[in-house]
Structure 1
Amino acid sequence: MKKDFYEILGIAKGADAAAIKKAYRKKAIEFHPDKNPGNKEAEENFKTAAEAYEVLSDPDKKAKYDQYGHQAFEQGGYGGGGHHMNMDDIFSQFGDIFGSAFGGGGGFSGFGSGQQQRRAKGSNLRIKVKLTLEDIVNGVEKKVKVKRKVQAKGVSYKTCSTCNGQGQVMRVTNTILGRMQSASTCPTCGGTGQTIDKKPSEADAHGLIVEEETVSIKIPAGVSDGMQLKVSNKGNDAPGNNSIPGDLIVAIEESEHEFLKREGENLHYDLYISFPEAILGISKDIEAVNGKVRIKLEEGIQSGKILRLKGKGIPSINGYGSGDLLVHVNVWTPKTLNKEQKNFFEKSLKEENFIPNPEKSDKSFFEKVKDMFS
């Protein structure tokens, strides 16, 4: 069973952003590879702390985690889950938080594998993908064309002469307390340890060109409007032989359905029936996401009655089953009548069967609203 993120960082559940950042910095420094060379347990603790911070430092992810726990991110690919990041990803995303404690570069010495410098990571790309309600219920694979920067063919890099491939430069300053040594990111190579040696004429100053690529995006069932998915390594390339591409961030945009209205994992459908249909009862075909569904309306059904069709709503993105389809019955009152029809209803005004007589089991409008929100 996975350990609680708040417990990993040693903070209370109500901790604010500043407390979360402070706690993570403390843990990151404690288990930093430069302080624990060759220690596999420290490496795992370092990654686990990064995973906890990745989720708790993001308000949206934190809210999902507080509500659903680890299951909120078990689907993978659409938020959270830093445990599978490599060390370069962690330093790329969070190195600035604790880098100053280790010379300011955020780089690391590695775990018994010799000297390494921080790998450059390319910038992320962002796109919007519009989905129908059918796409959301069933899950879908979308193919989109993305223009991304990639390293040009024929480009080559050489060791940076400013930092000798270390990615950072050392400075010595004379102070009243003596000589102070500090490190900062190399201004020439940006911390990659490499600069351009040769590049084709069509490449930019970093050896990159723009190419269009078709990217396949697997979208799980149950996503919602505004949710973001991550496609790893489909963002822009970064310069250098040891660099890694950024990610493609996919924002979900939900199209409005003609008949169905979404509320979380439930769907709502307004069914209008005539006065005779309400009196006599009838079977009706109604719109569901994956085709029509036949329901039977009992004799004397009342306007405002809500029929619940179990499991006909939106699947839970966390695998908790599906929501329901709520059918709202509306009895349509005719606005114009012919003389014969009018005479019939005038004669019926004092008929016992036409006098309102709600049963105790018939809930009021306010009780129905209360039930919907509870």
Structure 2
Amino acid sequence: MVKETKFYDTLGVPPTATEAQLKTAYKKGALKYHPDKNTNNPEAAEKFKELSHAYEVLSDPQKRSLYDQLGEEGLEHGGAGGGMGAEDLFAQFFGGGGGFGGMFGGGMRDQGPKKARTIHHVHKVNLEDIYRGKVSKLALQKSVICAGCDGRGGKEGAVKSCTGCNGSGMKTMMRQMGPMIQRFQTVCPDCNGEGEIIRDKDRCKKCNGKKTVVERKVLHVHVDKGVKNGQKIEFRGEGDQMPGVMPGDVVFEIEQKPHPRFQRKDDDLFYQAEIDLLTALAGGTINIEHLDERWLTVNIAPGEVITPGAIKVIKGQGMPSYRHHDFGNLYIQFDVKFPEKDQLKNLELLEQVLPPRLEQPKPAADAMVEDFEIEDIDGSDYSQARAHGAANSMDEDDDDVPPGAERVQCASQ
């Protein structure tokens, strides 16, 4: 019993489908939905990507096992290799650069030597490691040429070119539609699109005729100081292997983890510091633990007066600049914590040390004056009052719209 059937449904096969059935379903769908054949149909392009991703997962025994047991979430956390571009997968089946030029006679640009798929991984790194630099050991699964048969799939001389398709894996079929004859290509039923035929008794026992086996590889990923979020680290030739093509690459994309104390923007760091009212007015010190475990003692001069939301800077204490020797800045935004009501004593002393009160507007001598006391706000009542006020405001605005006219809202830029 599989946890999810989404990928099987995309290919139109049951969860019990064999490798040959998966391959046949992919080839049929890829030919039908390829973007070159549906130039003005974005839905077909999206379907083509979905087909390619589903086949890329289900054709890999390890990924398929993870998917059957844990679904897509299991693939994300199971370390079972990376993804392959839809066009790269198409090119492996049909040749060329992934388009239809070679298949239907059109001119196709020279793409150079064929290359196996590129394995993509997201490498999540915390801010401390980006600040100090780090070497990570990351394991991945990749396909390598089977040593038992040297990538032939069977005994020497046992692999025969399919005579039904002349080794291409595809057959050209013709179908009469009224007075016209339609010519189209389909997957060769004799070899299931392989282009080769190997008798079961001659298949390699190590790879079962697949020509490649899955191998675990450990790579040392150097995370340089100040590396940017989204930056890619490439290992050329360390990806999948296939007979007759160049080995693929492995690409790690850096994903910076959120940090509980610092926010990063380019080479600058931002820190939120909470101070009391006394420190904001009379000065004092705050201590900040930096990303390399140093402690920064920040002095606030007496009388400097730190207002709520004020931002100050310590130059040169931000992130290291990638592959340079300078640093960004550390910006500190202050949150001034005011005392609670029960903490206030000797309020009359404040009159002596603080500036005089702001002069308030005064009512005329003959004005009607009423005294009120302020109260704390109940959150739910306040939210309802704001919502009611907004609704009334909209009703008033609607009064300016002529009958039968349609109100148009400006789009955000």
* TM superposition score normalised by structure 1: 0.51
**How far 1:194 sits from its partner (Å)?**
7.2
Residue 295 of structure 2 corresponds to which residue in structure 1? 292
Contact 2:96 2:102 in 1 (8 A): no
3-state secondary structure, aligned to 1:350: helix
**How far 1:342 sits from its partner (Å)?**
0.3
Residue 121 of structure 1 corresponds to which residue in structure 2? 116
Residue 124 of structure 2 corresponds to which residue in structure 1? 130
**How far 1:131 sits from its partner (Å)?**
1.0
Distance 1:348 1:204, change over 3 A: farther
Give, in whole Å, the separation in 2 of the partners of 1:314 and 1:294. 18
Contact 1:152 1:199 in 2 (8 A): no
**How far 1:264 sits from its partner (Å)?**
4.6
* AA aligned opposite 1:325: L
Distance 1:185 1:308, change over 3 A: farther
Residue 28 of structure 2 corresponds to which residue in structure 1? none
* AA aligned opposite 2:114: R
Residue 148 of structure 1 corresponds to which residue in structure 2? 142
* AA aligned opposite 2:144: V
Residue 339 of structure 2 corresponds to which residue in structure 1? 334
Identity %, equivalent residues: 23
Distance 1:263 1:108, change over 3 A: closer
User: Rg bigger for which structure?
Assistant: 2
Q: Does 1:312 align with 2:313?
A: no
Give, in whole Å, the separation in 2 of the partners of 1:107 and 1:206. 32
Give, in whole Å, the separation in 2 of the partners of 1:266 and 1:94. 49
* AA aligned opposite 2:349: S
Give, in whole Å, the separation in 2 of the partners of 1:302 and 1:182. 76
Give, in whole Å, the separation in 1 of the partners of 2:191 and 2:212. 15
Give, in whole Å, the separation in 2 of the partners of 1:201 and 1:102. 35
Q: What is the aligned residue count?
A: 263
> Unaligned stretches of 5+ in structure 1?
1-20, 26-87, 358-374
**How far 1:138 sits from its partner (Å)?**
3.5
* AA aligned opposite 2:330: L
Q: After superposition, give the CA deviation of every residue in 1:186-227 in whole Å (9 maximum; x if it has no partner).
A: 898999987779653131442222221111223343322x66
Contact 2:317 2:327 in 1 (8 A): yes
Give, in whole Å, the separation in 1 of the partners of 2:335 and 2:231. 34
Contact 1:103 1:182 in 2 (8 A): no
Residue 271 of structure 1 corresponds to which residue in structure 2? 273
Give, in whole Å, the separation in 2 of the partners of 1:230 and 1:308. 36
* AA aligned opposite 1:313: G
Q: After superposition, give the CA deviation of every residue in 1:72-123 in whole Å (9 maximum; x if it has no partner).
A: xxxxxxxxxxxxxxxx99x779987785444559998989xxxx9x63524x
* AA aligned opposite 1:310: K
Give, in whole Å, the separation in 1 of the partners of 2:196 and 2:321. 47
**How far 1:260 sits from its partner (Å)?**
1.5
Residue 262 of structure 1 corresponds to which residue in structure 2? 264
Give, in whole Å, the separation in 2 of the partners of 1:165 and 1:107. 22
Give, in whole Å, the separation in 1 of the partners of 2:198 and 2:107. 21
Q: Does 1:351 align with 2:352?
A: yes
Distance 1:231 1:308, change over 3 A: same
Bigger relative contact order (CA 8 A; separation at least 6): 1
Give, in whole Å, the separation in 2 of the partners of 1:299 and 1:333. 18
Tell me which of 199, 202, 209 is aligned to 2:206: 202
- 1:146-225 aligned at under 5 Å gives the runs 146-155=140-149, 156-157=151-152, 160-162=161-163, 200-220=204-224, 221-224=226-229
Distance 1:183 1:93, change over 3 A: closer
Give, in whole Å, the separation in 2 of the partners of 1:150 and 1:222. 31
3-state secondary structure, aligned to 2:278: helix
* AA aligned opposite 1:348: L
Distance 1:180 1:279, change over 3 A: closer
> Unaligned stretches of 5+ in structure 2?
1-34, 40-87, 153-158, 359-413
Give, in whole Å, the separation in 1 of the partners of 2:348 and 2:145. 86
* AA aligned opposite 1:296: N
